[in-house]
Structure 1
Amino acid sequence: MKISTKGRYGLKAMIDLALNSVNDSVTLKSISERQNISEGYLEQIFASLRKKGIIQGKKGSQGGYILGNSASDIYVGDILRALEGDLSVVDADENSEDRMDQCVNYNVWNKINKSINDIVDSITLEDLVMKYNTLANDVFMYYI
């Protein structure tokens, strides 16, 4: 499994939205400019996220997007699944009667798939925002 640009850009856009929608909605144009992502591509990404209820759109002159839930209730797994679909590395055939397939499915593919899902389902959007803020506030001083 390889996460596409849709998934990678979607995560960046969601962090940007969480950072900037504290008191108001955020336009795609502003996210596009800050993150250097095509506004048209963001429209596709946000359509998928809106369909899953992860974000909400507001129409009108003061329109834009806000989070559908609290950042602490939105998981990276939710975002990636909305944009990428199933995150399985291999679709293991659970009903296979071949013992070799059963052995590999149980001992390799199912464990890899479970590990991936456990990781993305343990990281919230709030976690990413907090890590971003920590990185943004770290000032490195270089002396020569």
Structure 2
Amino acid sequence: MKISTKGRYGLTIMMELARRYGEGQMSLKAIAQKHDLSEHYLEQLVAPLRNAGLVKSIRGAYGGYILARTPEEITAGDVIRVLEGPISPVEFEEEEDPAKRDLWMRIRDSISEVLDSTTLQDLITYKDEGQADSYMFYI
């Protein structure tokens, strides 16, 4: 399974809204400018996110979007499924070999487990722990 720009940019939108959660709405124009993305493309992505109840739109001169739930309640899996469809590495329903079918199902389940256990809050507070301290020098 390859996540397309729809899924990646959709997560970008949702992470920006999560960062601003409780502070008010954010425009797609601001998100597009911050990440050097097409505002028109982001408009196409936000519609299914709104229809799925993940974001709410605020109309008006200072309108924009806000999360419909807290960042702790929305997972990466929620976003990816809305924009990419069902999570599956291959179409294995027609697989005749039970060993290969089991492999594809375990891969699907593992991907789902990671996506469903990673919230927007996790993504926006992620720190590459130990990266800066990965080398210890003694004199």
Q: Same fold (TM over 0.5)?
A: yes
CA deviations on 1:78-103 (whole Å, 9 max, x unpaired) are 00111101110122227x7x4xx223
User: Corresponding residue for 2:114?
Assistant: 119
User: Corresponding residue for 2:53?
Assistant: 53
Letter in 1 for 2:80: L
Distance 1:93 1:31 in 2: 39
User: Structure 2 stretches of 5 or more lacking a match?
Assistant: 133-139
CA deviations on 1:66-86 (whole Å, 9 max, x unpaired) are 001000000000001111011
- The runs of at least 4 consecutive aligned structure 1 residues that moved more than 2 Å come to none
1:128 partner SS? helix
Letter in 2 for 1:126: Q
Distance 1:105 1:8 in 2: 28
2:88 partner SS? coil
1:127 partner SS? helix
The correspondence of residues 72-111 of structure 1 with structure 2, limited to 5 A, is 72-93=72-93, 98=96, 101-106=97-102, 108-111=103-106
2:72 partner SS? helix
CA deviations on 1:8-36 (whole Å, 9 max, x unpaired) are 11111211111134311111111111111
Q: How far does residue 37 in structure 1 lie from its aligned partner after superposition?
A: 0.9
1:79 partner SS? helix
Letter in 1 for 2:67: L
Give identity over the alignment, percent.
Answer: 42
Structure 1 or 2: larger helix share? 1
User: Corresponding residue for 1:36?
Assistant: 36
CA deviations on 1:102-128 (whole Å, 9 max, x unpaired) are 23212x111000000001001000001
Q: Which deviates more, 83-92 or 12-21?
A: 12-21
1:73 partner SS? coil
Q: Give the root-mean-square deviation of aligned CA atoms.
A: 1.9
Distance 2:29 2:88 in 1: 33
Tell whether the 8 Å contact from 2:90 to 2:104 is kept in structure 1 after alignment. Answer: yes
Aligned pairs, how many?
Answer: 130
2:125 partner SS? helix
